Structure 1
Amino acid sequence: MSTTDQHPTTLRLASGNGPITRSILPHPPRDALPSELPIISLAPLFSSSSSLASRMEVAQQIRQAATTNGFFYIKDHDVPSSIIQEAETAAFTFFRSPTSLKEKASMHNSLYKYGWKPPRTQRLNPFESVDHRESFSWRYDPRYDPSVNDLAEIPEEVMRFIKHDADDYPWSAVPLEFKGPVIGYFQAVLGLGRVLQRAFALRQKMGDETRVSIGSHTDFQLFTILGQDQVGGLQVLSRSGQWLNAKPIPGTFVVNFGDYMQRITNDKYVSTVHRVQNYSGRERLSMAFFFGFNLNETCEVLDSCVDVEKGEEKKYEAVSCWEWTQRRVRMMHDVKGGGS
C-alpha cells in the first residue's frame, strides 16, 4: 500500500481472477452512519401473518443496502440469544485451552484444512501482514443439517463435492462442550441464511494499518452472516474509499455480500472490502457463517440483472464454484509472501 498525506492511497487485494485494487481516502476510519450501515428488522420474514407487502418492504431495504455499501445489520432474526451466548462461551473456552489440546484438531491433520488454525497461518490479503488470529473452521456437513432426513436423497453430483475427513474430523478431536454449542449455532444460522436467501430472491423477482487482525478482503460466496462480540474492530470500506467502523450492536448480526453475489447481479450488488483492526488489547471473537452455492454448480450472471434495452451486457463469464473457492483458499493459506 502506498502512503501519502494528501492523496488517496491504493489498496491491493486478492481475487479469484488475480490482484485488484481499491482507492482509499486519506482519512482515519470513522464510525458508520445509520444510513451507511442500516439496521433492518427481519420480523415480517418470520411471521406467518405478515403480508406480502411487508416482506417485500424488507427485501427492498436489503436491496438498498446491497447497492450502496453492501453491509447491513439485521435484528429480529429469530436466533435465540441463548444459542449465541452458549456458542461464544464454548469458543472462548476452546481458544483459551492449552495449545496441546487444540492441536488435536489441527488443520495439519486434515486433508481439507479443516479444524484449528494457529496464529500466523492465514493471510486473507497477500499484500498485507499475516493475519494475527487463530480460528476453527469447517464446511457444510449434511449430517448436521436439520432439514436433511436421508443422506441417500442427496444427488451424487452434489455429494461428491461435500468433502470431509474420516472419523468425523475435526469434531471427533474437540471436547463435546465445544462441539455441541457450536453445531447448535451453525444449525440456527443455517436456517437464518435460508430465510435471507428467499428474501434476496423475492426482491430480485421485482426487479497501524500494516498489521492486521484479519486482512483487507472480500468474501468468496453469496453472503456472510457475522456474529461479533462487543470488542469491535470490524471496518468496512465505503464506495467512496472511506474506512467505516461497523461497531457491535447488541441483538444483531452483520450481513455482507460476497463475490458470487456481485457476479450474478452484474455488479448491482456490492462485494464489499472489509478488515478487522483490534487494538483494544482484549480478546475478540467473531463467528462467521458463509452462505454460498453448492460447489458442483456454476456461478454466472442472471439474465434478470442485465437490462438489454439499456445496452447492458454480462460483465462476467461463468465460473466453477469449486474452482473459485479453491483459488481463494489456496491464497489464504499462503503466508510466505506479502507483508510481515
Structure 2
Amino acid sequence: MATDSNSRLPIIDISPLLVKCDDPNMKEDTGVVEVVRKLDRACRDVGFFYVTGHGISESFMKKVKEMSHQFFELPYAEKLKIKITPAAGYRGYQRMGLNLTGGKQDFHEAIDCYKEFEQGKYGETGKAMEGPNQWPENPQEYKELMDKYIKLCIDLSRNILRGISLAFGGSPYEFEGKLVGDPFWIMRIIGYPGVNQENVIGCGAHTDYGLLSLINQDDDKTALQVKNLAGDWISVTPIPGSFVCNIGDMLKVLSNGVYESTLHRVINNSPRYRVCVGFFYEINFDAMAEPLDIFKEKYPGDERSQLSKRVVYGEHLVNKLQTTFANLMEHN
C-alpha cells in the first residue's frame, strides 16, 4: 500500500468507492473491492490513513482554513463574544489553555461546534449540550462557508463508512439504520500558536470519541503525530488536498477491538500559527454501541477483540466533555 515517505501512513484514493456509493451491488466492483481492502488494512494496522479522491476541492478546503486563520487573528475581546460556557452547551470559543487532555492544559484555542437538536430530545443526558452553535460575525460569511463544509463532510463520512462496513463483511448500509440513522457530529476549529521552543504540547495524546474523523490541516506545517503499534510517534506530513482520516472509540467498540482507535497528539514546533479543522462523524446520540455480532463470531480468539463493552454514545461524549473542560466554571 502506498505510504508517504515521511509519515508512513496509508494513502487511499476512495474515488472508486464514491462512483459506486449508491449502488447496493457496489461490493462486486473491482475498484471498490480494492478500496475496501485498503480501508480494512489501515483500520487494523494503525487506525489512521490519508484520504484522496474524495470530491471536495482543494481550493474549498483551503478557504475553510484561511477564514479560520482570520478568526484567530482577531483581538481576544472579539473572540470572547462567542465564549464557550456550560450554559451554551459547551459550544463556542475556548481560550488558550482551557482544554485539558489527561489533566494537563493544551496549548491551543478553538471554536467547538456540535449538531444542533431540539430541547429535551435526549433527556437529561442531552441537556448538557443543548443550544445553538455560536458563530462569529467576523469574518463575514464564515457561518455560511462552514455550514456548507459540514454538509460535505457528513456525506463524505457516510460514504467512507460504507466502505468500512463492507470491510466488516456486512452490507454497505450497516451504519445507516438505528445505529447511525441520525448521526451526531462534532467540529473543532483549532488554532495552534507558533512557538520558539521545541515540544510544546498543542494537544496531548488522546483517542477520538466517535466513529470517524476527517482532519483538514494546514499544508505547510507538520504537527500531528500518531502512535503506531510499535509504540513510535509518527509525524503526519500534510498532503495538500487530502484529509487525514482516523477511527474513534465507537468504531473500536463496534469492531470488538479488531479496529483500533489510535493515540495521537499535536506538537507545533513551527514559529508560525497553525490551523486544523477536525470533523468528527458519530453514531446517533442515544445509540448503544456494542460489539457487532459479525466480529464476535469472526474473531472469537483475537485477544484485542475481547472488549465485551457497551456504551451509550451521548453518555460517553458528555462524560468526556465534562472531564476535558473540568476547569471551565472556575476560569471562564
Pairwise TM-score range, normalised by the shorter structure: 0.7 to 0.9
The CA distance in 1 between the partners of 2:167 and 2:281, in whole Å, is: 18
Q: Could you give the per-residue CA deviations for residues 280-317 of structure 1, whole angstroms, max 9, x where no partner exists?
A: 11101100001111111111011101137855675222
Aligned ranges 1:127-276 → 2 under 5 Å: 129-141=104-116, 161=126, 163-165=129-131, 168-171=132-135, 175-205=139-169, 211-230=200-219, 231-276=221-266
TM-score (norm 1): 0.77
Alignment check: 8 A CA contact 1:36 1:69 kept: no
Residue among 280, 285, 290 paired with 1:290: 280
Q: Can you give the 5+ residue segments of structure 1 that lack an aligned partner in the other structure?
A: 1-30, 143-150
Aligned to 2:319: 327
TM-score (norm 2): 0.79
- The alignment status of 1:91 with 2:68, answered yes or no, reads yes
Cα drift, residue 174 of structure 1:
5.6
Aligned to 1:16: none
Aligned to 1:13: none
Alignment check: 8 A CA contact 2:84 2:94 kept: yes
Task: State the superposition RMSD in angstroms.
Answer: 2.9
Comparing 312-321 and 55-64, the one that deviates more = 312-321
Q: Could you give the per-residue CA deviations for residues 248-288 of structure 1, whole angstroms, max 9, x where no partner exists?
A: 11111001111111111111101000000001111011000
Amino acid at match of 2:152: A
Q: Can you give the 5+ residue segments of structure 2 that lack an aligned partner in the other structure?
A: 172-196
Aligned to 1:107: 84
Q: Which runs of 4+ in 1 moved over 6 A?
A: 207-210
Residue among 100, 105, 110 paired with 1:123: 100
Cα drift, residue 204 of structure 1:
1.0
The CA distance in 2 between the partners of 1:54 and 1:34, in whole Å, is: 27
Alignment check: 8 A CA contact 2:17 2:32 kept: yes
Amino acid at match of 1:75: T
- Report percent identity of matched pairs: 26
The CA distance in 2 between the partners of 1:137 and 1:309, in whole Å, is: 38
The CA distance in 2 between the partners of 1:80 and 1:67, in whole Å, is: 29
Aligned to 1:26: none
Aligned to 1:300: 290
Aligned to 2:49: 72
Alignment check: 8 A CA contact 1:262 1:271 kept: yes
Cα drift, residue 109 of structure 1:
7.5
Label 1:174 to 1:321 Cα distance change in 2 as closer, same or farther (>3 A): farther
Amino acid at match of 1:219: D
Comparing 305-314 and 325-334, the one that deviates more = 305-314
Q: Secondary structure at the match of 1:67?
A: helix
Cα drift, residue 216 of structure 1:
0.6
Aligned to 1:317: 309
Q: Secondary structure at the match of 1:171?
A: coil
The CA distance in 2 between the partners of 1:211 and 1:286, in whole Å, is: 16
Cα drift, residue 205 of structure 1:
1.9
- The alignment status of 1:52 with 2:29, answered yes or no, reads yes
The CA distance in 2 between the partners of 1:228 and 1:309, in whole Å, is: 36
Amino acid at match of 2:325: H
Alignment check: 8 A CA contact 1:234 1:275 kept: yes
